[in-house]
């Protein structure tokens, strides 16, 4: 009990010394309300408890939170808090330890404890007074209505900025999702185009196989040179892969229609067949050759536009020193195996001049039977023919093949009967007079002759007309003359005065429209037979794509100018048969040749004909039907028409076009539109 009394007295003494040292500060607001602490040491004297004074921690934390310097430095605040906490704990701990352990102490010792307290180490009481003043001033500033309003506006703007940032993030996320969707749709579109093309080709092959009963049931995916047999006697699809000896089969494009022709002719490879065994008869070998030739024709002409009847077209075949005549059913031995050896090759002959047929000519020039038959009839009747059409449609090759066939038909040979007459382009060329004399001499000749005048320029038609006018020959006599012309100017004069028959070859004609595909498919088959490897399906898709491109380009040219300046399939005949090389070739062809030519003819149409209609860019169709699945998209590599600006710049010059030239163009277009057949 005495110890308790001593402890109380010690505590009271310490309290008094703390108050006298200046610890008693003005009252501060607490979280529980406005509670005031007085400096009287007797307010709780009866309770025997320590009076709770504001510690350095509470004072420092409250004042530092209201001070502007403390707001800018979190480090100072944390250091003060930690200092106050450590001072409080050390001060109380030292007081209690001295009170209990040392017993009676003098007032000087208690004073020394108080002097070592944090209140003394932190500074004098006068140092706390400015803090109180600054805090009160901050409280007054915070209570100003303008400051409150500014704080509210700042919070509103910060909230609005946060909303804008969130909206921007949402929009960016939506853009990324849309980009991914577009890329996925593009990939799916390419895949669908590829699947559609493959399905279309398969359906066309199935319909072709069902319509031609003479063909076997071999699927379109199998190589053409692996001919399926009707029996297991000789021909099987596995013989070739198992090392079976094969025979190379070619077709002679000789026009005479005879076995063992006198003049050499070119050959076309159509495939291979296994070597006949001793059970194979001549009739079986004939049927296998029919099937092989039919399959070859169906590969280069899926639509059957050529009009070839394969079984009737073959008149026989040659192997080594022996000949098999199908028409007379004659053979050099009872069985093919007796005369056909391993090193032999079979050469098939087709009908020709001897049978008054055009089968060999059809296979060579790839023009339909109806077109060639009509041309030949006109040429035999009038002896003078002009092939008129756009540039690059194959007029020169067709004229030369007709001249070759006609020379055999009139009893001569191509080397002796065909005479090429070339008219120079230069007006001052000295050879023009010599050409005129040569032409007049040929027209007066009585020997069988076929005169071939290729690519007559428009300004040379008058010269040609004068040459024919100087020679008077009966209509049914004289040499045969075949001319090729690109433009229609002055052709009616040739027709009226010199008995020329004009045959129009427009780009929309079936014989011209399908020529490109037949020619390229024949090139593909030649590569397959040479390399013994099937072409990829993508190559066939490219070949189907090119004629559509040509049609779109010519439609634009006819609308912006006239059909006289359209282009033919010659530009596309040299397409590489490799997928990557063909893509690079087409991009270069489109950007460097086709686009500049379309711009040129469109400007010419505006200047000469005054055509200012809307121009639809064919590049849209090319991009839509782009057949190359690999590599960059068409929109990234192809140039587009840029003629609107140039045409609008020339709009002031439209009034300068020549009315006479426009009238001549219109008359020639009207006359040519009615000449779909021979005039």
Whether residue 392 has pLDDT greater than 90: no
Model pLDDT, residue 215: 31
Domain ranges of the chain: 2-143, 237-360, 366-505, 536-673
Question: What is the CATH number that goes with domain 237-360?
Answer: 3.10.20
What is the band of 149 on the pLDDT scale with cuts at 50, 70, 90?
confident
| Each residue's pLDDT tens digit, 251-278 | 999 899 998 887 777 889 999 898 888 8
Greater model confidence, 658 or 61? 658
Unique residue bearing structure tokens 């108080």: 114
Residue 133 has pLDDT above 90, yes or no: no
Handedness of CA 176, 178, 184, 187 (dihedral sign): negative
Average pLDDT along the chain: 74
Q: Are 618 and 595 in contact (CB under 8 A)?
A: no
C-alpha–C-alpha distance, residues 206 and 67, integer Å: 93
Strands of 314-319's sheet in order across: 267-274, 246-252, 345-350, 314-319, 322-325
Residue 130 pLDDT > 50:
no
For residues 240 and 276, give the distance between their C-alpha atoms in angstroms, rounded to a whole number. Answer: 13
Work out whether strand 345-350 and strand 314-319 pair parallel, antiparallel, or are unpaired. Answer: antiparallel
Whether residue 29 is predicted with pLDDT greater than 50 in this model: the reply is no
Q: Cα separation of 31 and 361, whole Å?
A: 113
What does the alpha-carbon distance between residue 361 and residue 403 come to, in Å, rounded to a whole number?
Answer: 11
Q: What is the pTM of this model?
A: 0.60
3 state DSSP class of 450: strand
What pLDDT is recorded for position 201?
A: 62
Counting Cα atoms < 13 Å in the Cβ hemisphere of 378 gives 22
Measured CA angle at 412 (ends 411, 415), to 5 deg: 160
Which helix (H) or strand (E) is 485 found in, with range? strand 480-485
Q: CB–CB of 258/240 below 8 Å?
A: no
Residue 367 clears pLDDT 60, i.e. is over it: yes
Percent of the chain with pLDDT over 70: 66
The CA distance from 540 to 585, in Å, is: 16
**Cβ–Cβ < 8 Å for 295, 227:** yes
The span from the CA of 335 to the CA of 331, in Å, is 8
**Mean pLDDT within 393-406:** 92
Helix (H, G, I), strand (E, B) or coil at 301: coil
Same fold, 237-360 and 366-505: no
- The CATH class given to the 366-505 domain equals alpha beta
Question: What distance in Å separates the CA atoms of residue 405 and residue 219, rounded to the nearest whole number?
Answer: 37
Specify the pLDDT at position 588: 94
How is 609-638 classified by DSSP, letter by letter?
Answer: I--------THHHHHHT----SSS-HHHH-
Of 616 and 1, which is predicted with more confidence? Answer: 616
Q: What is the pLDDT of residue 293?
A: 95
The owner of tokens 């500049």 is: 596
pLDDT number for residue 660: 56
For the beta carbon of residue 23, count every other beta carbon within 10 angstroms: 20
Mean pLDDT of 303-330: 89
> Which pLDDT score, from 0 to 100, does residue 204 have?
58
Per residue in 558-614, pLDDT (tens digit) is 888 888 788 989 889 999 999 999 999 999 999 999 999 999 988 888 877 666 556
Q: CA 594: distance to chain centroid?
A: 17
Half-sphere exposure of 155 (CA within 13 A, CB side): 6
Tens-place pLDDT, residues 218-239: 333 333 323 333 333 333 333 4
Of 70-74, 510-514, 596-600, 624-628, the least confident: 70-74
What is the distance between the alpha carbons of residues 325 and 315, in angstroms, rounded to a whole number? 6
Q: What is the mean pLDDT of residues 142-154?
A: 80
Instruction: Tell me what percent of the residues of the chain surpass a pLDDT of 90.
Output: 25
Whether residue 142 is predicted with pLDDT greater than 70 in this model: the reply is no
Answer yes or no: is pLDDT of 673 > 80. no
Task: Supply the DSSP string of 234-265, one letter for each residue.
Answer: S--HHHHHTT--EEEEEEE--SS--SS-SS--
Q: What is the pLDDT of residues 644-667, one digit of tens each?
A: 544 544 444 444 455 555 656 666
Within 10 angstroms of residue 220's Cβ, the number of other Cβ atoms is: 17
How many Cβ atoms from other residues are within 10 Å of residue 503's Cβ?
21
pLDDT of res. 126? 42
Tokens (6 digits) for 636: 């990234």
Is 136 within 8 Å of 147 (Cβ atoms)? no
pLDDT digits (tens, 9 = 90+) for 377-390: 999 988 889 898 88
Lowest model confidence (mean pLDDT) among 67-71, 211-215, 316-320, 511-515: 211-215
Pairing, β 450-456 against β 345-350:
unpaired
Give the tokens for residue 608: 């000469």
pLDDT (tens digit, 9 = 90+) per residue, 497-545? 678 888 888 888 878 888 999 999 999 999 888 888 888 889 999 999 9
Asked if 647 and 470 count as a contact pair (C-beta separation under 8 A), the reply is: no
676, pLDDT greater than 50:
no
Q: Among 562, 544, 540, 622, which Cα is nearest to 589's?
A: 622
Alpha carbons 532 and 225: distance in angstroms, whole number? 9
Question: What is the phi/psi pair of residue 247, to 5°?
Answer: -115, 135
Q: What is the pLDDT of residue 476?
A: 73
């Amino acid at each position: 009990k005495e110890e308790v009394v001593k402890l109380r007295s010690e505590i009271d003494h310490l309290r008094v010394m703390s108050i006298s040292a200046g610890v008693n500060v003005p009252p501060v607001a607490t979280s529980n309300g406005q509670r005031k602490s007085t400096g009287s040491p007797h307010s709780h004297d009866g309770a025997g408890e320590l009076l709770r004074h504001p510690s350095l921690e509470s004072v420092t934390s409250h004042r530092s939170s209201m001070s502007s310097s403390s707001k800018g430095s979190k480090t100072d605040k944390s250091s003060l808090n930690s200092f106050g906490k450590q001072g409080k704990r050390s001060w109380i701990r030292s007081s209690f330890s001295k009170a209990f352990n040392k017993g009676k102490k003098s007032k000087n010792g208690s004073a020394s404890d108080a002097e070592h307290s944090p209140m003394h180490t932190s500074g004098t009481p006068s140092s706390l007074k400015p803090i109180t003043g600054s805090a009160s001033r901050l409280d007054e500033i915070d209570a100003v209505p303008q400051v409150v309003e500014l704080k509210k506006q700042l919070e509103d703007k910060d909230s609005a900025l946060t909303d804008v940032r969130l909206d921007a993030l949402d929009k960016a996320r939506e853009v990324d999702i849309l980009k991914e969707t577009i890329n996925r749709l593009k990939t799916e579109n390419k895949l669908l185009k590829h699947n559609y093309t493959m399905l279309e080709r398969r359906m066309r092959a199935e319909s072709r196989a069902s319509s031609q009963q003479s063909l076997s049931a071999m699927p379109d995916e199998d190589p053409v040179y692996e001919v399926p047999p009707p029996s297991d006697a000789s021909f099987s699809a596995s013989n070739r892969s198992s090392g079976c000896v094969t025979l190379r089969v070619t077709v002679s494009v000789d026009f005479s229609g005879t076995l063992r022709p006198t003049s050499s002719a070119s050959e076309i490879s159509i495939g291979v067949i296994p070597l006949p065994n001793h059970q194979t008869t001549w009739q079986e070998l004939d049927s296998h050759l029919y099937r092989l030739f039919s399959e070859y024709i169906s590969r280069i002409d899926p639509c059957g536009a050529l009009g070839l009847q394969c079984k009737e077209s073959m008149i026989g075949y040659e192997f080594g020193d022996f000949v098999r005549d199908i028409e007379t059913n004659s053979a050099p031995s009872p069985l093919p195996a007796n005369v056909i050896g391993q090193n032999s090759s079979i050469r098939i002959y087709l009908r020709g001049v001897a049978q008054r047929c055009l089968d060999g000519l059809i296979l060579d020039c790839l023009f339909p039977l109806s077109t060639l038959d009509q041309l030949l009839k006109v040429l035999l009747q009038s002896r003078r023919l002009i092939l008129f059409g756009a540039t690059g449609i194959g007029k020169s090759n067709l004229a030369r093949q007709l001249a070759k066939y006609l020379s055999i038909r009139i009893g001569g040979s191509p080397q002796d009967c065909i005479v090429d007459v070339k008219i120079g382009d230069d007006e001052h060329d000295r050879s023009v007079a010599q050409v005129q004399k040569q032409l007049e001499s040929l027209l007066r000749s009585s020997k069988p002759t076929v005169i071939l005048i290729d690519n007559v320029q428009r300004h040379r038609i008058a010269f040609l007309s004068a040459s024919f006018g100087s020679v008077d020959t009966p209509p049914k006599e004289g040499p045969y003359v075949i001319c090729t012309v690109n433009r229609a100017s002055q052709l009616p004069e040739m027709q009226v005065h010199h008995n020329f028959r004009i045959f129009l070859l427009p780009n929309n004609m079936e014989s011209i429209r399908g020529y490109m595909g037949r020619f390229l498919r024949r090139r593909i088959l030649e590569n397959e037979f040479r390399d013994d490897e099937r072409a990829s399906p993508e190559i066939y898709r490219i070949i189907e794509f090119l004629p559509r491109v040509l049609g779109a380009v010519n439609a634009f040219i006819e609308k912006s100018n006239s059909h006289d300046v359209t282009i033919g399939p010659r530009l596309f005949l040299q397409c590489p048969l490799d997928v990557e090389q063909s893509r690079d070739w087409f991009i270069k062809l489109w950007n460097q040749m086709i686009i500049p030519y379309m711009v040129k003819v469109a400007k010419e149409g505006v200047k000469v004909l005054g055509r200012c209609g809307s121009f639809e860019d064919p590049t849209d169709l090319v991009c839509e039907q782009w057949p190359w699945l690999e590599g960059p998209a068409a929109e990234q590599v192809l140039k587009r028409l840029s003629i609107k600006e140039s045409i609008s710049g020339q709009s002031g010059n439209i009034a300068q076009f020549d009315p006479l030239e426009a009238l001549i163009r219109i008359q020639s277009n009207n006359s040519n539109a009615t000449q779909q057949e021979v005039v």
